[in-house]
Amino acid sequence: MNFHTRKWVKPEDLNPNGTLFGGSLLRWIDEEAAIYAIVQLGNQRVVTKYISEINFVSASRQGDIIELGITATEFGRTSITLTCEVRNKITRKSILTVEKMVFVNLGEDGLPAPHGRTEIKYVKDQFKDDGLSE
Ligand SMILES: CC(C)(COP(=O)(O)OP(=O)(O)OC[C@H]1O[C@@H](n2cnc3c(N)ncnc32)[C@H](O)[C@@H]1OP(=O)(O)O)[C@@H](O)C(=O)NCCC(=O)NCCS
């Protein structure tokens, strides 16, 4: 799993307990996962269909640097299934895990459409396909 995105926990992200507000974290995860799905499926019309049990493993505090990791676990006909982990960048301690997030690829009519993808596409290979790099 690659941890591409980092966030700095700021005062506006906290709950009344002084730790990271779950809603802020879920917003970041949903956005990060949607971007991952868009890039993998090559289509901007992708929607969140399903999010499994979310396990808030440990708290994060103001000033912490956290990182979000997403990877694809399954390519369906119109869907893609992802898994996610958030951890503290410095200590590597797990903050949250989401076992399963399903995104659906939509056509212009807003209905599920086959995406034709079967495996994870890496950035270096995408550039190769575009003929932009060697
Ligand atoms: C996404 C949506 C168009 C799918 O419609 P649908 O009638 O469920 O479509 P289908 O039954 O054809 O299923 C589409 C895919 O989702 C998968 N799916 C459907 N329900 C699922 C569920 N509960 N859990 C996991 N996967 C599910 C199906 O297996 C299928 O994948 P596949 O083609 O790879 O096998 C519709 O449910 C919708 O518009 N939901 C709201 C999305 C939204 O607003 N999200 C929040 C904002 S982004």
- Regarding pTM above 0.95, the answer is no
Cα 122 to averaged position of ligand 1 atoms, centre (Å): 25
Section 32-38 average pLDDT = 96
Calpha distance 86→68 (Å, rounded)? 5
Cα 62 to averaged position of ligand 1 atoms, centre (Å): 36
What does the pLDDT look like over 54-84, one tens digit per residue? Answer: 999 999 999 999 999 999 999 999 999 999 9
Cα 10 to averaged position of ligand 1 atoms, centre (Å): 34
Listed by start position, the domains of the chain span 2-130
Q: What is the pLDDT at residue 13?
A: 97
Measured in degrees and rounded to the nearest 5, phi and psi for residue 37 equal -65, -40
CA triple 73-21-40, angle to 5 deg: 25
Name residue, tokens 């949607």.
Answer: 34
Section 81-107 average pLDDT = 97
Q: What is the pLDDT at residue 128?
A: 65
Residue nearest to atom 20 of ligand 1 (CA): 49
**Per CATH, the architecture of 2-130 is what?**
Roll (3.10)
> CB–CB of 18/61 below 8 Å?
yes
